[in-house]
């Protein structure tokens, strides 16, 4: 049985989560791990002091404010398996598996970040409750 | 003659929330979507569209 939430409920759920990030939060790309035992960091991108704008009252989707690049990524020989949004104190708030679908078909094997690569994020959205 | 009541439905636990094939209290899983660009040492820029879905508390 499907559960459906109102737009205001979806927005409230998303905003409650993004508010936990606080100033100084970062977006990190990591190797395989969990939220309690995260994998090694391959790249760290600082979020804005207010990481996300308020979520849409219709869809519950929140769009991230400007994200700085990591101009000298730590990198790793293994491909990225997870993305995490974490506080300035390195407390992971959101952790998820990512699947790379590259614009370049040669990269379909996954996303591997080499040491020294520059990693930028031009679009980031979060939705806590899609329906 | 009175028919016996059907057994009560199982109450979902936290472990069931969002579990594949299990009960879900929130419908579809939460999503994180992003577009990233990786600039290699060679100067080549590669773009990735990433879509993450996550389930439960520790996935």
User: Is residue B56 in a domain?
Assistant: yes
- In whole angstroms, give the CA distance from residue A84 to residue A98: 10
Domain that holds residue B54: 28-59
User: Is residue B55 in a domain?
Assistant: yes
- In whole angstroms, give the CA distance from residue A96 to residue A33: 9
Query: B48–A111: do the CB atoms touch at under 8 Å?
Result: yes
User: Is residue B16 in a domain?
Assistant: no
- In whole angstroms, give the CA distance from residue A103 to residue A72: 22
Q: Return per-residue pLDDT of chain A as tens, 131 residues.
A: 678 899 999 999 999 999 999 999 999 999 989 999 999 999 999 999 999 999 999 999 999 999 999 999 999 998 888 899 999 999 999 988 876 554 333 334 568 899 999 999 999 999 998 88
Q: What is the ipTM score, two decimals?
A: 0.85
**Nearest by CB to A131, which of B27, B57, B59?**
B27
- Provide the whole-model pTM: 0.80
Query: A120–B39: do the CB atoms touch at under 8 Å?
Result: yes
How many domains are there within chain B?
A: 1
Distance from the A103 Cα atom to the nearest Cα atom in chain B, whole angstroms: 6
User: Is residue B10 in a domain?
Assistant: no
Spacing of C-alpha B18 from chain mean position: 5
Q: What is each CA distance from A96 to A5, A70, A92, B10, in whole angstroms?
A: 22, 20, 11, 28
């Amino acid at each position: 049985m499907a559960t459906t939430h109102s737009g205001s409920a979806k927005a409230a759920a998303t905003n409650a989560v993004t508010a936990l990030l606080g100033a100084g939060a970062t977006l990190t790309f990591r190797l395989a791990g969990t939220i309690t035992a995260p994998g090694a960091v391959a790249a760290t991108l600082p979020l804005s002091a207010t990481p996300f704008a308020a979520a849409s009252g219709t869809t519950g989707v929140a769009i991230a404010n400007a994200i700085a690049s990591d101009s000298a990524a730590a990198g790793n020989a293994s491909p990225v398996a997870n993305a995490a949004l974490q506080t300035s104190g390195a407390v992971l708030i959101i952790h998820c598996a990512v699947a790379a679908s590259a614009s370049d078909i040669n990269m379909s094997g996954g996303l591997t970040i080499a040491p020294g690569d520059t990693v930028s994020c031009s679009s980031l959205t979060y939705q806590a409750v899609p329906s | 003659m009175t028919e016996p009541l059907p057994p009560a439905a199982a109450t979902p636990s936290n472990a069931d929330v969002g579990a594949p094939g299990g009960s879900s209290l929130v419908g579809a899983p939460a999503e994180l979507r992003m577009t990233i660009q990786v600039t290699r040492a060679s100067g080549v820029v590669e773009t990735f569209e990433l879509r993450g879905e996550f389930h439960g508390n520790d996935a």
